[in-house]
Amino acid sequence: MAFDGRLLSGVSVLAAVIEGGSFVAAAEALGLSASGVSRSIARLEERLAIRLLDRTTRSLRLTDEGRSFYERVAPLLDGIGEAAELASGNTVAVRGKLRVNVDPYFSRLVLAPHLPKFLSSHPDLTLELITSDDIGDLVADGADLAVRFGPQPVSSQIAVRLLATRILTVAAPSYIARCGRPVVPQDLADHECIQFRDPVTKRPFEWELHQGRTIVPVTTRGRLVVRDVGTMLGACLAGAGIAQVLALGVQDLLAQGRLVDLFPDWPGETFPLYVVHTSRRHQSAKVRAFIAFCTDITG
């Protein structure tokens, strides 16, 4: 297929649609009419002989063929942008819009308190945080990167581990005063334990404690089942039961005595935190800046 400027123009419009999430948003970003954006996408689909987008009156998404095409051309568009920055001497400029898919727990308890400092350090940057339990499709969602807990599946995306945080078994002093404190992990079976439902498997997480190479699975019970970490933490603080939480984000509560680490001598279970970005040869300055920021506040 011979290259022509109209093809590059159509791909640029497609990128604006994906990033903006709608024809109207793309039109505003490009200074075009919504009908002009629609015609450009139609010409590109005709040129490629594939349907790129499934469109309804309320939403749009990439088709499988469209996603495959865009995953190949997105790095090339980035390369053009990087070449332009290099030519103008702005390879280290942190500016523009950065869209980040973020785990809600990390966003609320760890990230949010440090955002003013990050934004003040980069006055030419606009940051959009997309909080979700699911990483989704970064390309289709127009996200530059993601910050997620847990092992990441093998894919074309690049996952870089930031840290591994301890999993703590905690309770509020009011619960301990009312129900007593478990002495060994097996005692948890006789306590009210707040169950957290895994958003992926739809089943409550199984409990276990680690001490060196010793791993003790514990069958727990509890009448409260939640799918939101904030709700679980709030209920635990109120004395509703024992919970397993990530050490990252609750250190102040432990230091203040509002939560008690029930098994400090069982410190071995950890949970990883990853930065995930698409497999591009070069990261933009804004992506590098955000990764460095996350590394700094979690270090």
For residues 141 and 284, membership in a common domain is answered with: yes
What CATH number is associated with residue 49? 1.10.10.10
Q: How is residue 108 written in tokens?
A: 């609320």
For residues 27 and 120, membership in a common domain is answered with: no
Q: Which residue, of 55, 71, 88, is where some domain finishes? A: 88
Express each pLDDT in 155-167 by its tens digit: 657 788 888 999 9
For residues 267 and 190, membership in a common domain is answered with: yes
Report the mean per-residue pLDDT for the chain: 85
Give the contacts of 280 (CB within 8 A, at least 6 positions apart): 74, 75, 78
What CATH number is associated with residue 118? 3.40.190.10
Give helix 23-30 / helix 34-48 axis angle, nearest 10°.
100
Express each pLDDT in 104-119 by its tens digit: 888 988 899 999 999 9
Confidence (pLDDT) at 28? 83
Using the predicted structure, report yes or no on whether residue 82 has a pLDDT greater than 70: no
For residues 49 and 33, membership in a common domain is answered with: yes
Using the predicted structure, report yes or no on whether residue 1 has a pLDDT greater than 60: no
For residues 76 and 22, membership in a common domain is answered with: yes
- Whole-structure pTM value: 0.66
3-34 burial code (b ≥16 CB/10 A, e <16): eeeebeebbbbbbbbbbbeebebbbebbebee
Contacts 24+ apart (CB under 8 A), 34-39: 37/13
**Greater confidence, 169 or 14?**
169
For residues 254 and 120, membership in a common domain is answered with: no
Q: If pLDDT is split at 50, 70 and 90, which confidence band does 90 have?
A: very low
For residues 168 and 266, membership in a common domain is answered with: yes
Express each pLDDT in 279-294 by its tens digit: 555 567 888 899 999 9
Distance, in Å, from the CA atom of 203 to the CA atom of 218, rounded to the nearest integer, reads 16
- Domain residues for the domain of 139 are 96-158+273-298
Using the predicted structure, report yes or no on whether residue 87 has a pLDDT greater than 70: no
Per the structure, the count of domains in the chain is 3
Express each pLDDT in 36-66 by its tens digit: 888 888 888 888 888 888 877 667 888 888 8
For residues 27 and 117, membership in a common domain is answered with: no
Mean pLDDT throughout 232-255? Answer: 94
What CATH number is associated with residue 206? 3.40.190.290
For residues 142 and 206, membership in a common domain is answered with: no
For residues 170 and 267, membership in a common domain is answered with: yes
Distance, in Å, from the CA atom of 111 to the CA atom of 106, rounded to the nearest integer, reads 6
Highest mean pLDDT among 30-44, 150-164, 212-226: 212-226
Using the predicted structure, report yes or no on whether residue 8 has a pLDDT greater than 80: no
